[in-house]
Amino acid sequence: MYRKNCDHCNRPSFSSSEMGEWLCPVCGHDLTNYPFFNAVSLEKVSISSRWKKNLYKNPPE
């Protein structure tokens, strides 16, 4: 479970997926590019390894 903090309404939102768009359920602000936090420990979560996997599949020219 992931958590992101909305800086528009200052409310946390939660999701089980790191993929796709992430809109604040309260105000609808786009949180897709905001950092992920662990919903339990509130530690910042790095998902860079998953993005690297995608890069290897589609290497930039």
Report the interface residues with Zn ion, using CB under 5 A. 6, 8-9, 24, 26-27, 29
Token pair for 25: 């359920």
Considering beta carbons, is residue 28 or 46 the nearer one to Zn ion? 28
Considering beta carbons, is residue 8 or 50 the nearer one to Zn ion? 8
CA distance 61 to 42: 37
Q: How far is the CB of 24 from Zn ion (least distance, A)?
A: 3
Considering beta carbons, is residue 3 or 29 the nearer one to Zn ion? 29
Residues 6+ apart with CB under 8 A from 18: 2, 36, 45, 47, 50
